Every structure is written in structure tokens, then in C-alpha cells.
Amino acid sequence: MKIYKARAPMRIGFFGGGTDVSPYAEEHGGKVLNCTINLYVRCMLTTSTTPGILIRSLDLQEVSRQVSDREWDGKLALPQAVLDALPQLRPTTAGYKITMFSDAPPGSGLGSSSALVVSMLKLLYAVAGQNADPHQLAELAYRIERVDLGIPGGRQDQYSAVFGGMCVYHFGRDRVIVEPVLSDQTALLELESCLILGYIGDRQLLTRHLMTDQVQRLVKGDTLRLHHETKAFVDTAARLLREQRIADFGRLLHDAWEVKKAFSPHIAPPIVEEVYALARKHGAWGGKISGAGGGGFMVFACPFDRRLAIERALTEAGVIVRPFSFVTHGVQSWVVEEPDV
């Protein structure tokens, strides 16, 4: 029996977040710097003796079953939408089961939803014996989330899950350019050694409401200048990485965070401000929320010799410090043979 598996990495967004969201990206050009990490959304497809399609999320403890062609009994909207979007890639066997889980909770700010969609798409292409163009794969994932399901957000999560690594993504009206930042891994290793990733808890507002608020403020013109400033940080940050000026990169994170908070009053609720102030008090150069804001994971840049002290202070404050490493690959799939039981 063939067992198909896939995994897509999540990412830490460093600079330019929000400029990849419509309508800013189409009207002014978006630019984002992020890097994938060794936290994944993982999927597996196996055949089943029971006819039909069954989807099981191990971490959410939810199950969806297909009732008819595009009708489901269950709450797993994202994987259901992937299967609905690509009926031609569904396995031809009478019954099969898709099992999945995420290394981070929903609403983490690490792009887990997009990693799920990308991982499932890669899985289905592998089952069909087809290779998907990376840009087309990212755009299809974007369409499923933003158009088919109407979930507000940008494009950086889908592209980072597909391409992987430390990249600058240029988002225009008609195309996306992927620009790898580092050819020498020394800077990536040094940055990793100076970063702390901490989970501060569930977002206090739904991401949908937070993103809608940010877009409304942009359309009104309230935050257009702030989006321009946010985008301008990206080129500076990429240059600092190439020059291995990690301390200056960390200080730039602080400057960019001050601008990002002005996008919406909901980005940095009191708990976020308190945790950030605590990290700064113990020696962090800077940091930010990873994702739209409101909660989830925060990342802090600090001197190597201050890292343990900051981690202890954060842990005492209830923050869950999560070890991680950067990865330079995007989504992956593979197949193994197991004897029939």
C-alpha cells in the first residue's frame, strides 16, 4: 500500500507585513521579508476500505466526511476547500483518508493556515503523479483561502510555504518576484542564535476582524504612509543581513514594530505591550508580533549573552518559549510503501 505524505513549513515574518495585502500590493507594490522555520503542517493520504473521503485533524480533534460532490459533514473548512478546488486531482480509489496536524496552533501568526493549504495541494499533486509550478501552487493556495473561503489576508504566507528560505517577496499587480536574500548561511545562523520565539496565547480578536480593520484604515487613507514606511524597511533589513549586522537588524525590528502598531489599535493589546516591554527591559534589541497581530507568537532579537535571561523572564511571565531553527526549503512531498494489513 502506498502512503503519501507532505509537509509545508511555517514562517517568521520580519519586515513589510501588511504590504502584501490588497489593495496596497496591486496599487503600490508590496514587499515582505520572511524566513521559513522548522515548524510544519503535515498531511498524509491513505486508502480506506470505507467508500468516500474522510479528513481527520489530529491537533484540532475534528473530522470531516464528504456527503456529496461539494457537500461536507464537518468543520474542517480549509482542507474541504482544497479538495473542492481540485476535483480532478482526487484519488480514483473508492475510499481514502487524509490525516493532518500542525506543529503550531491556529492563529499562531506563523502562517499555519496557508501552510496547511500548500501542504494539502502538494499532497494531491503527488498522488496524481504531477508536478505543480511553484508560482501556480502559491497562487492556487491564495485563491482557495482569500477568494473561495473569503479569509482576509495577503500573499506572503502561501509563497513562503512554497518557496522557503530567507526571501524578499515583491508583490505586484500581475506578478510576484521571489528574491533569495542570503547565499552565505553564516548570517542566517547568527540571526537564529540571537532570536527568541515565544507564544503569548490566543489572539484576543479574530484575525478576520483584525485584517478587515487594517484594510479599511488603508482604503480610507489613514495608514497609507505607514504602509510605505513599512515597505521601506525591507531593503534596509536585507542589506543588514547580507552584511551580517545582526544587532542593527534587531534594532530595526524595533523601529518597524513601532510603525506596525499604528496600523490598527488592535495589533498590540496590553498583554503584547507588556511582554514586549519585559523583553526590552532584559536586553532585547527589538521584536514584533509574527503575523497580523493581537496575539500568537512574538519574536525577539537580542545579544547572544542576554538570551537565557530574556527567556527566563518571558517564561516567568507565562510566555511559552519555542525552540526553532530556520529552514531553507519549502513544501515537500514523498511516498512510502507499506505492506497491506
Write the pLDDT tens digit of every residue in 18-76.
999 988 999 999 999 999 999 999 999 998 888 889 999 999 999 999 887 778 998 89
Residues 33 and 81 in one domain: yes
Can you tell me the distance from the alpha carbon of 298 to that of 289, in angstroms, rounded to the nearest whole number? Answer: 4
Residues 233 and 158 in one domain: no
- As for how many domains the chain has, the answer is 2
66, part of any domain: yes
pLDDT at 244: 96
Query: What per-residue confidence (pLDDT) applies to 5?
Result: 97
State residue 88's pLDDT score: 81
Same domain, 31 and 87: yes
- The answer to whether position 188 is within a domain reads no
Share of the chain above pLDDT 90, in %: 73
* Model pLDDT, residue 182: 86
- 75-79, 205-209, 316-320: lowest mean pLDDT where? 205-209
Q: Are residues 126 and 210 in the same domain?
A: no
Residue 201 included in any domain: yes
Sole residue written with cell 496547511 = 116
Indicate whether 1 and 48 sit together in one domain.
yes
Grid cell listed for 204? 484576543
Give the lowest-confidence range in 46-50, 167-171, 205-209: 205-209
Same domain, 146 and 204: no
- Enumerate the active-site residues: 157
pLDDT at 87: 82
- Establish if 341 belongs to a structural domain: no
Mean pLDDT over residues 241-259, rounded? Answer: 97
Q: Is the pLDDT of residue 202 over 70?
A: no
Is 80 within 8 Å of 55 (Cβ atoms)? yes
Q: What is the pLDDT of residue 204?
A: 44
Beta bridge partners of 220: none
Q: What percent of the chain is modeled with pLDDT above 70? A: 94
Evaluate whether 18 touches 290 at the Cβ level (below 8 Å): no
Same domain, 35 and 132: yes
Q: Is residue 55 part of a domain?
A: yes
- Residues 111, 23, single domain; the answer is yes
Task: Answer yes or no: is 314 within a domain.
Answer: yes
Which CATH number covers residue 262?
3.30.70.890
pLDDT exceeds cutoff 70 at 17: yes
Global pTM value: 0.93
Q: Which domain holds residue 262?
A: 193-319
Cα separations in angstroms, 124 against 34, 145, 219, 277: 26, 17, 37, 45
Residues 278-325: pLDDT tens digits?
999 999 999 999 887 778 899 999 999 999 999 999 999 999 999 999
Residues 121-163: tens digit of each pLDDT:
999 999 999 999 999 999 999 999 999 999 988 999 999 999 9
Q: How far apart are CA 321 and CA 297, in angstroms?
A: 9
Q: What is the CATH number of the domain that holds 141?
A: 3.30.230.10
- State the pLDDT at residue 210: 64
Provide the pLDDT for residue 91: 74
Q: Is residue 92 in a domain?
A: yes
Kindly state whether residue 219 falls inside one of the protein's structural domains.
yes
Q: Is the pLDDT of residue 221 over 80?
A: no
* Bridge partners, 33 (sequence order): 15, 168
One domain for residues 224 and 151: no
Cell numbers representing residue 108 in the block: 499562531
Q: Same domain, yes or no, for 276 and 166?
A: no
Same structural domain, 157 and 211 = no
Q: What is the CA radius of gyration of the chain?
A: 20
Whether residue 309 is found in the same domain as residue 330: no
